[in-house]
Amino acid sequence: MNSQETLPNTQRFVLREHQGAVNVCRYNAEGNYCLTGGQDKHIRLWNTTTGLKVITLEGHGWEVLDIAVASDHTRFASGGGDRSVFLWHAGRGELERKWAGHTQKVNAVAFNPYSNVLVSGSFDTQVRLWDLRSSTRAPIQVLRDAKDSVMALDVADHTITVGSVDGFVRTYDIRQGVLTSDYIGHPVVSLSRTRDGTSLLVGTLDHTLRLFDVTRGSLLNQYTGHRNGTYRIRSCLSRADTLVMGGSEDGTIWCWNTLNAQPVDTLKGHTNVVTCVSFHPRESSMISASADGSVIIWD
């Protein structure tokens, strides 16, 4: 880990074009653009260097709840209240495909590392896998083990990790056909894996973030001080995994030292729940989204 990693604590741009809550913010693979989705049913693409909006994407009929960007830069996916999964062409800003099948809102979407499979998780408790190379509209697999709303997904080489309101983190080894279930005891709303893939940051509705060892399932650390008991807040780790970043329902962003779990700083910029924080893939920069309708780019 890089002990010299610095906290981005200066507001470079405040983006305010969304009408209503902004539910998600994601960088592209290079970090020169970011995507935001909100209650206003729109997805907006921003240039993170200039702070200028590039395009507004319309297609959702209900609020946008999650966005995932493919590793090959060419596409991104979104899900929301429509109960459908949307696949967009990033360069053209056009809707390429749409899959139906979920019976409730789609809370989470994620690509596999090869960008040929898209995974979606829903309030209907199901996780569905969609083959991007096939013309069929049917999922290639449906995972039905969750007993309550699926809120978070993490997809690695051969594993799919699912966080649910039922308090479980379930990891499916697709290659071996093995399911591992870890009971956290509180609704799971956020999952974020370290860059080396060895640890998983889990956010739950008990005002706590927990870092688990992926192989052994043991608790490595827990991070407290923020308020998160009602709303889904997506947390993240910094570029070198030395910092844990988490939003709070009071509008602040908390930062902890990953190793000793001590708070490093608290950032103030939003006036309502911080719904999502995402760290830049290459630089000491991050973006945050809030129920107050704003998105902040921090340097």
Model confidence over 179-226: pLDDT tens digits?
999 999 999 999 999 999 999 999 999 999 999 999 899 999 999 999
Tokens 């920069």 correspond to what residue? 285
Share of the chain above pLDDT 70, in %: 99
Average pLDDT in the 138-151 region? Answer: 97
Share of the chain above pLDDT 90, in %: 93
The answer to whether residue 49 scores a pLDDT higher than 60 is yes
Say what the pLDDT of residue 90 is. 87
34 vs 28: CA distance, rounded Å:
6
Check if the beta carbon of residue 296 is closer than 8 Å to that of residue 14.
yes
Confidence of residue 4 (pLDDT cuts 50, 70, 90): low
Of 243, 247, 246, which Cα lies nearest the Cα of 194?
Answer: 243
Say what the pLDDT of residue 3 is. 53
Class of 30-235 in CATH: mainly beta
Confidence of residue 1 (pLDDT cuts 50, 70, 90): very low
Confidence of residue 31 (pLDDT cuts 50, 70, 90): very high
The answer to whether residue 91 scores a pLDDT higher than 90 is no
How many other β-carbons are positioned within 10 Å of the β-carbon of residue 127?
A: 26
Say what the pLDDT of residue 118 is. 97
The H-or-E segment that residue 126 falls in is none
Select the more confidently predicted residue: 236 or 74.
Answer: 236
Question: For 239-274, how does the pLDDT look when each residue is reduced to its tens digit (9 = 90+)?
Answer: 999 999 999 999 999 999 999 999 999 999 999 999
Say what the pLDDT of residue 269 is. 97
Give me the chain's average pLDDT, please. 96
Confidence of residue 72 (pLDDT cuts 50, 70, 90): confident
Domain boundaries, the chain: 30-235
The pair of three-digit structure tokens given for residue 213, joined into one six-digit string: 């060892």
Say what the pLDDT of residue 73 is. 81
Question: For 98-127, how does the pLDDT look when each residue is reduced to its tens digit (9 = 90+)?
Answer: 999 999 999 999 999 999 999 999 999 999
